[in-house]
Structure 1
């Protein structure tokens, strides 16, 4: 009988847990949610390790799994909100709000006030540093739809940050 390949995760767990949890907590700013997503990440890792061929186990790979779980969470939250209200029809501005200096603490608070779809797009693009095609892949959207989402998300962030009318 061959040993379960997921047992390798036990050896890495103590080292990986603070990294995975820290990654998630920094993005969601909600302890219970970060804990839930961390648990989901490790459960998904066990499932992935039992498939053939098993991925190479590392902290970086676990962070990638966490990124997918976070994107899944935001997609679920977006679907829930979409069912409760009409889609916001933002007007597009030509000024890039990312050319300004922002206060990091205020920026995190503003990000938490945005809808999940905007949080997901901005976090993946600007905090994780992913390109638009990678953001689109994580969110299950086309590149063009993701570009439009990023424009709306940046506009919503800017309005909320500045305290303007019509902010989410």
Structure 2
């Protein structure tokens, strides 16, 4: 669960201007095309950090971020809200990571991946500015110690499966499942409290 600096800039989209509805689309009442240039500009860092959070290393996050926006360009996605856009991009990015791990023949626990996404969504959806949330998440992870920190690092930074984590920590797989669940809850509570303090007492 590591947040690092900034992602590599993805290739510029072909279009140089925001997408506009064609007369035919307007006449038929079709939704406007996605403004890919704007979405890449506004969302690439979000997608990259999310992939890092799920355990992708920086080069993987670079490539998967590009694949995520390419998939978006080929889709019929229609923007409705910030939260909806963030959720859609997370879903696409998570699928890209899963496909990569299958290609690499590396096991990844989809239950833990979904749980990690839930924590991310609760902490970051609708967040503005981003820096406060990134700092809060980083600070809360740094407060972890012992088995809890080791388990989180193995699961979300190194993409290690539950059985392998259990072996490394000399635990049973069910014990690792319980440890991860409790640690995620602890992190969620810590992030929420940190952000509440930041909101109530801005510097």
Q: TM-score, normalised by structure 2?
A: 0.41
User: Considering only CA atoms, is the larger Rg found in Structure 1 or Structure 2?
Assistant: 2
